[in-house]
């Protein structure tokens, strides 16, 4: 698509009523506060029965468990409808950031980043239904200083085509060249307006509906991709830790231990997950579930690439960068 076509398409879209414009800067400030995020994640791990409606605190990182399940389910409905961009030169601000975009948007983003040749700091990307519902609840209840939030399934962060970034004016020319457009009145926000976009909001809703029905066979709802009251009320009743996460054993997958080189070596599925994530970003390591010196070296290499302290210790920041 030529520049002119993109510009034309963009000006057409600007006349469309997209509903309300959310103040992304203000929302992200609350959402990415690191203390708030770590409290939220602790809470999600401890209180496996806490629902979206009861979600504590202000960071939407608290619904990470449920969010991950919905994204997985979406990709099982339509393969690669959302793809991770953690393999690019990006730094995600917190665990509230779901580092996913539609494929064409990600490819355009890769060109943006390589053209500028520096790390892009991401404040917000894909927002899942429970994240948006949490913001919407906060807004309606006058909590967390959320001045306005869109009804779930209508936010522009739910289409897999939106990003909020640090230094937006510095990045703007690079984004524009690759089919992305800034959103007036919302400084950190860019939308991908280039080719290959599709509407994935009904896939997200259907993914939630399928999950709900699978775990609540006696309270089935229509799997119609429509975010009506029946769906919203079930979403509010869903556990923030995710479906089927109700025992100590399954909870362990949410509990994250800090991984490092030690004697004896640390072993387990969590080590294997880290190794597999490293392999995915083209760092050479054997995914054997044992944290030996090879893994230590690989982690340090990854941390160096991402501008983190290269200490070989896999804590929250490294996990986030690995997309775990």
Give the 3-state secondary structure percentages of the chain, helix then strand then coil, rounded to 5: 45, 10, 45
Q: Classify strands 90-92 and 120-124 as parallel, antiparallel or unpaired.
A: parallel
Q: How many CB atoms lie within 10 A of CB 130?
A: 28
d(CA 93, CA 23): 17
Q: How many residues bind Zn ion (CB under 5 A)?
A: 3
Of residues 5-44, those binding Zn ion (CB under 5 A): 24
d(CA 39, CA 61): 9
* 158 and 126 Cβ atoms separated by less than 8 Å: yes
Shortest distance (Å) from residue 168 CB to Zn ion: 10
Q: CB under 5 A: which stretch of 39-47, 161-169, 241-249, 308-316 binds Zn ion?
A: 161-169
Q: Which of 73, 104, 159, 164 binds Zn ion (CB under 5 A)?
A: 164
Decide: is 189 part of the binding site for Zn ion (CB under 5 A).
Answer: yes
Shortest distance (Å) from residue 163 CB to Zn ion: 7
Q: CB under 5 A: which stretch of 86-94, 158-166, 169-177, 218-226 binds Zn ion?
A: 158-166
C-alpha angle with apex 50: 48 to 55, nearest 5 degrees?
130
Among residues 22 and 321, whose Cβ is nearest to Zn ion? 22
d(CA 101, CA 321): 16
Among residues 18 and 220, whose Cβ is nearest to Zn ion? 18
Shortest distance (Å) from residue 130 CB to Zn ion: 18
Decide: is 299 part of the binding site for Zn ion (CB under 5 A).
Answer: no
Shortest distance (Å) from residue 64 CB to Zn ion: 19
Decide: is 93 part of the binding site for Zn ion (CB under 5 A).
Answer: no
d(CA 9, CA 85): 25
Which residues of this protein are in contact with Zn ion, per CB under 5 A? Answer: 24, 164, 189
């Amino acid at each position: 698509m030529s520049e002119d076509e993109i510009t034309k398409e963009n000006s057409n879209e600007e006349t469309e009523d997209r509903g309300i414009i959310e103040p992304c800067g203000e929302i992200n400030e609350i959402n990415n506060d690191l203390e708030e995020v770590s409290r939220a994640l602790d809470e999600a791990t401890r209180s496996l029965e806490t629902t979206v409606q009861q979600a504590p605190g202000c960071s939407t990182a608290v619904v990470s468990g449920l969010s991950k399940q919905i994204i997985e389910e979406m990709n099982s409905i339509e393969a690669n409808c959302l793809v991770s961009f953690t393999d690019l030169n990006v730094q995600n601000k917190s665990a509230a950031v779901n580092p996913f975009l539609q494929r064409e948007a990600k490819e355009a983003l890769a060109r943006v980043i390589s053209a500028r040749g520096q790390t892009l700091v991401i404040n917000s990307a894909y927002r899942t239904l429970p994240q948006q519902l949490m913001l919407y609840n906060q807004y309606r209840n006058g909590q967390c200083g959320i001045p306005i939030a869109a009804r779930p399934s209508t936010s522009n962060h739910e289409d897999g085509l939106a990003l909020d970034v640090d230094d937006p004016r510095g990045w703007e020319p690079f984004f524009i060249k690759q089919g992305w457009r800034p959103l007036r009145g919302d400084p950190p926000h860019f939308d991908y307006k280039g080719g290959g976009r599709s509407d994935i909001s009904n896939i997200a809703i259907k993914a939630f509906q399928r999950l709900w029905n699978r775990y609540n066979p006696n309270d089935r709802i229509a799997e119609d991709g429509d975010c009506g009251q029946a769906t919203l009320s079930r979403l509010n009743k869903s556990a923030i830790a995710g479906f089927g996460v109700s025992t100590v054993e399954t909870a362990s997958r949410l509990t994250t231990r800090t991984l490092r080189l030690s004697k004896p070596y640390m072993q387990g599925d969590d080590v294997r997950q880290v190794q597999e994530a490293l392999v995915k970003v083209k760092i050479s390591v054997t995914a054997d579930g044992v944290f030996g010196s090879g893994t230590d070296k690989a982690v340090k290499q990854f941390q160096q690439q991402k501008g983190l302290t290269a200490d070989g210790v896999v804590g929250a920041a490294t996990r986030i960068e690995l997309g775990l």
